[in-house]
Amino acid sequence: MPVITVISGIPLFTTIQEALDWAAANGLSGYHTHFVGGQQGYMGGSNHASATRSGNGGAAQIRPNISGASSASSSSSSSGSSSGGGGGGY
């Protein structure tokens, strides 16, 4: 499972299928996208709020060794509503 980075404790994958697999393993469905360093990544859960509400079940099992990655440069192009707040460009 190639992981680009971890945002809010949730892994950002290189493929949609990996994101869907992670979502299913954590009681979620769908996926949404983030951009990090000009690269599009895929995160399980139909939006970032639902992914982070999953309680990180399973996320702790994925600990990529990533140097120089920053969640501050990420943004989301997911559809649907967001709970807002928190900032950080999710």
List, for residues 9-19, the tens digit of each pLDDT value. Answer: 999 999 999 99
**SS3 call for 32:** strand
State pLDDT tens for residues 5-64: 999 999 999 999 999 999 999 999 999 999 999 999 999 999 999 999 865 544 434 444
Q: Which segments of 1-90 does DSSP mark as H helices, in order?
A: 16-25, 48-53
Asked if 90 contacts 74 with a C-beta cutoff of 8 angstroms, the reply is yes
Q: In what order do the strands lie in the sheet with 39-44?
A: 3-7, 10-13, 39-44, 31-36
